[in-house]
Structure 1
Amino acid sequence: MSDFSYQHGALCAENLSLATIADEFGTPAYVYSRAAITRGYMAYADACRDAGRDAGTALVCYSVKSNSNLAVLHLLAQLGSGFDIVSGGELLRVLAAGGNPGKIIFSGVGKTRAEMQLALSHGIACFNVESVSELHRLNRVAGDMGVVAPISLRVNPNVDAKTHPYISTGLKENKFGVAFDDALATYRTAAALPHLRVTGIDCHIGSQLLDDAPLLEALDKLIELIDQLAAEGIVIAHLDIGGGLGIDYEAEQPVAVGAYLGRLFARIDAWRVARWQGAPVKVLFEPGRSIVGNAGVLLTRIEYLKPGSEKNFAIVDAAMNDLMRPAMYQAWHGVEAVLPRSGTTATYDVVGPVCESGDWLARSRALCVEEGDLLAIMSAGAYGMTMASNYNTRGRAVEVLVDGNVSHLIRERELPEQLFALEKIIS
């Protein structure tokens, strides 16, 4: 995480000390690096360009669920990003941030009628449909509105992503997508419905993938299906390979974006040359974590140090409601002292004040700290704030975007009164 480094004895975001940010905005606080987000997106955009792909033949659709702050979405929209959404709320966020609705794809297994109407009214690029029932509902909604809905099928290729079971989405037992063996028949159904227009094919096999072999295996299965569809006169204009590339949390070595996209485009181009004439198929990507994951930290302050006979605890003001990944996935995040001390270290579990034994952020970490010290929970830019809750009536953290040596408040801290402002007492 080169945008979070020690300078003059303090951990900094770009060129600004995290201690200065804590003094100004308090803790807990999510702190993001604008440079890191930009570089994360440009890794995809540059790889597409290097493969000879322009905006008409490749589109990066940032996965909004990974980090949906308006400032982050606005930055990505300015860079030319499209967006992958999974709810009507995420659609409205993208539009509020200045995103182009013509670059939005709508994924998710449970789209409501109201969400379909909202998306159709804004003219989004495509619906990634995940069941036969959804096909028929979307056809009825589009018919009632007098429009035609552009669709692709999210195909479940039954490829093992070799990742945590909670973020594996491409196996037969997962709830996502249309089974590969049923895809051809489902495409026939879609092509026959009068208010749908088949435009593409989609898959997403999981998240935090360190190796691109499963992704390329899924690509081969999609190519096989596209050939079968073409034989029946169903033309696929775009191929959406999803997202899923992992990041470095604990000395992992994820495949480089450029290397993966280079192999993917080479395989697609070889297939097109061998089988088809005319323009290359448009390729869509749905990255999230690999763009923003290492671009943010959760800044927290130690309230108490609590020694024990079996464990020592560093009790901080951030908690599982702020960062759910450790409790939910047993996920590992690095922990760094913002202002390191010299002296003897001790082993601590870093825990929060929430009334749950599962409220921990890191376990068995060697730290030289005192009460009142600041800690940075690293690699927290993805699935941090978007998964945060108000459990124990705790307001969600403030969010700050750093640009060089300047900090910008991009989300204010929630106050307790705001959390129950919509509630009513009855007599």
Structure 2
Amino acid sequence: MDHFLYRDGVLHAEDVAIPDIAAAVGTPFYVYSTATLTRHLRLFEEALAGLPHLVCFAMKSNGNVAVVKTLAELGAGIDVVSMGEYLKAKAAGVPGERIVFSGVGKTREEMRTALEGGIRQFNVESEPEMRALNEVALSLGLRAPVAIRVNPDVDAKTHEKIATGKKENKFGIPIGRASEVYAEAAALPGLDVVGIDVHIGSQLTDLQPFEAAYTKVADLTRQLRAEGHDIRRLDLGGGLGIPYERTNAAPPLPLDYGAVIRRTVGALGCEIEIEPGRLISGNAGLLVARVIYVKSAEERDFLILDAAMNDLVRPSMYGAHHEIVPVIEPAPGLEPHPYDIVGPVCETGDTFARQRPLPPCAEGDLVAFRSAGAYGAVMASEYNARPLVPEVLVHGHQFAVIRARPTYDEMINRDSIPAWL
């Protein structure tokens, strides 16, 4: 469910008409709904009610400081994967004890910054990283809280580029080597081993892979405790998918996901951490664009939009589907027309959809990409020297620009010309 609905024939974000935002900020732009972000976070809180837990929003899905602050003020923790994300979380007012630092290639500088600024735990991905963290912690006279990420060799049944839990993936240590790695970690004086971390992928629409992975984590917890380790925290990652295509069967609900957690690890007495990103932010955002031209070709018609692959790369990068809808509700019974929906970037890959049926469109019409709140603005670029898309946050009848579109001068002035030119 989201809070983007037609009212009197016009698409609204909560109580704000989308054309009003377009008139104020120009197109294309991203718009996020506070009510939807709030509802989705609370669904996870309800799913884990009664268990000691922390829901850590995966900031890589949407890194806007205002979005992070919205969730943090509701009690969410934040999962970060870089120094930039860590510093943005701190700028949003997130206390260190609610920040989990994940990521495959943490640098010593990142480790030092997080240790000095406060951190709940590092999710350690490898033995070299573990040893580096030990050195940094000792140099500061501190002990770093760590959970070691294990790779359970579970097929998440998702897109190959976002599967992270198979043995050929770059993430974590093989679960079969956990005993020896935990033994080394326990012997390092700069580390405080607090738990186990696992994350098997993103956009999962089946609970079975979660069940398989978490069952392995439960067995490993018992084994490590028998070997003398105080395993008191389990970070189970994120990955629960959202319905990009509304005609398909809906993915499992957070309540069903919570039932898997209770069934597999709920009796271990551990504090549970989860790291949802897409399910919290995905359906909380739209990308709104304007039709520049309707172009008729020999075999098809094209809708050429002012949004492009640099603004929303998921269709080009993953072959991802986004529902695209007119901002002005079409009249009942209007026969749809198939369009190739494309942007102005000079690549054939700048295609959002092929032969997508839409109500007949005209130059100047507004269209909205649904489910664009995750991995949309955060993956945008300035390819073709196109300024980054602005982001807008709606709260009831109010809206605010939470990242402005840079001017061309601002974009150009970030480059420097050397003295010899």
Partner of 1:42 in structure 2?
A: 42
Assess if the C-alpha contact under 8 Å between 1:169 and 1:175 holds in 2: yes
Whether the 8 Å CA contact 1:77–1:100 is kept in 2: the answer is no
One-letter identity of the residue aligned with 2:289: T
Offset of 1:310 from its aligned partner?
2.2
Among 157, 161, 164, the alignment partner of 1:166 is 161
Q: What are the equivalent positions in structure 2 for 1:329-348 lying under 5 Å apart?
A: 329-342=318-331, 343-348=334-339
Does 2:89 match 1:94?
yes
Measured after TM superposition, the shift of residue 267 of structure 1 is 3.0
Does residue 1:296 correspond to 2:285, yes or no?
Answer: yes
- Give structure 2 stretches of 5+ with no counterpart: none
How many correspondences in the alignment? 414
Secondary structure, aligned partner of 1:239: strand
Aligned to 2:25: 25
Q: Match of 2:73, SS?
A: helix
2:189 is aligned to 194
Letter in 2 for 1:391: Y
Amino acid at match of 2:366: L
Q: Deviations over 1:105-149 (max 9, x none)?
A: 111110011101001101201000001110111111111111111
In the superposition, the TM-score normalised over structure 2's length comes to 0.96
- The answer to whether the Cα contact below 8 Å between 1:332 and 1:362 also exists between their aligned partners in 2 is yes
* Compared CA separation, residues 2 and 127, structure 1 to 2 (3 A): closer
User: Is 1:125 aligned to 2:117, yes or no?
Assistant: no
The correspondence of residues 135-146 of structure 1 with structure 2, limited to 5 A, is 135-146=130-141
Residue 349 (structure 2) aligns with: 358
> Residues 255 and 341 (structure 1 numbering): CA distance in 2 closer, same or farther, change over 3 Å?
closer
Q: CA deviation at 1:269?
A: 3.2
Distance 1:311 1:216 in 2: 46
Secondary structure at 1:124 match in 2:
coil
Q: CA 1:104–1:153 in structure 2 vs 1: closer, same or farther (change >3 Å)?
A: same
Residues 338 and 375 of structure 1 are in contact (CA less than 8 Å); yes or no, is this contact kept in structure 2?
yes
Counterpart code for 1:335: I
Task: Identify which of 233, 238, 241 aligns with 2:236.
Answer: 241
Q: What is the correspondence of 1:2-401 to structure 2 with a 5 Å cutoff?
A: 2-49=2-49, 52-53=50-51, 57-251=52-246, 252=248, 253-270=250-267, 272=268, 280-342=269-331, 343-367=334-358, 368-401=360-393
RMSD: 1.2
Q: Which residue identity does 1:266 align to in structure 2? A: R
Q: Which amino acid aligns with 1:209?
A: L
Q: TM-score, normalised by structure 1?
A: 0.95
CA contact (8 A) 1:67 1:386 kept: yes
Q: CA deviation at 1:324?
A: 0.6
Q: C-alpha distance in 2, partners of 1:147/1:115?
A: 15
Identity between Structure 1 and Structure 2 (%): 49
Distance between the aligned counterparts of 2:137 and 2:330, measured in 1? Answer: 62
1:341 CA displacement: 4.1
State the AA in 2 paired with 1:350: I
